[in-house]
Amino acid sequence: MARMTMVMDVRRCIGCHACTVACKTENDVPLGVWRTHIRTKEVGKYPYVRRHFYQWICAQCGNCIEASENNGVGAVSRRPDGIVTVDYEKLTKGRTQKQIDKEIDAAIEACPIGAFSRNPMTGMPEKCNQCAHRVDKGLVPACVQTCLGRARIYGDASDPKSEVAKILGTNAARPAPPNDCDDPHVHYIGLDGNLVDRGALEGQVQVKTEDFVSGKIDQVVNGLGGK
């Protein structure tokens, strides 16, 4: 059985954000939310300062699946290849907004890294699905395709001939933190200890998602969505 896995080589990341832009373009992700982006942390004192880059992304751990099943119809599920997806038709068909919100909120709450959120334009769940539509065509996720430094490697970890399997077999890779990710399908090479605490990372946030929810910022009115 295939186990689609992403390996992040932190040593090769230069913080260019090509992955962030590619993801937003490929999946039409609006401002204020991300399916992947680069978080940063600066360590040391001048003149000995270094900036660390952390490739933040959904670990495909599946924590949100049980929450979805226990609080709704189980619209969040894991494919046989390990990718966690949201069935939007199953989530909404014949259901009230209150029922939909209960399931979405439970799934968001269950995510240990904040990778599950609401799309401020539609109100629907927003998360990385490893560009499943591309994977089904034999392509790699958009963020992997565009990574200039090849800091992201993607493939079937169960295939010993795959690049991912070879890299995991020859490098000291660790599963995506934190430890309460049940079954992560994202692994890191060269992850600095300063990056393990995701809450301490700066994130280079463009705008705050809650500003869209509250109406402080409107993507269309302010020209961000356009017509």
Amino acid 226: pLDDT: 36
Residues with pLDDT less than 50, the chain: 200-207, 219-227
CA-based nearest residue to 204, from 10, 52, 44, 11: 52
- How do beta strands 4-9 and 186-189 pair? parallel
**What confidence score (pLDDT) does residue 32 get?**
77
Could you give the residue ranges of the DSSP H alpha helices within 2-147?
18-27, 63-70, 88-92, 97-110, 132-135, 142-146
CATH number for the domain whose boundaries are 4-212? 3.30.70.20
**How many angstroms separate the first and last alpha carbons of the chain?**
44
pLDDT of residue 51: 84
According to the model, what pLDDT value does residue 120 have?
87
Q: What is the pLDDT of residue 220?
A: 47
Question: What pLDDT score was predicted for residue 95?
Answer: 96
Where in the chain are the domains?
Answer: 4-212
Residue listed under structure tokens 């809650």? 210
Give the pLDDT of residue 186.
Answer: 93
**What is the per-residue pLDDT for 211?**
61
Give the residue from 166, 114, 131, 120 showing the smallest Cα distance to 7.
166
Are 198 and 181 contacting, i.e. CB atoms less than 8 angstroms apart?
A: no
pLDDT number for residue 215 = 63
Query: How far is Cα 104 from Cα 109, in angstroms, rounded to an integer?
Result: 9
For tokens 């904040």, the residue is 114
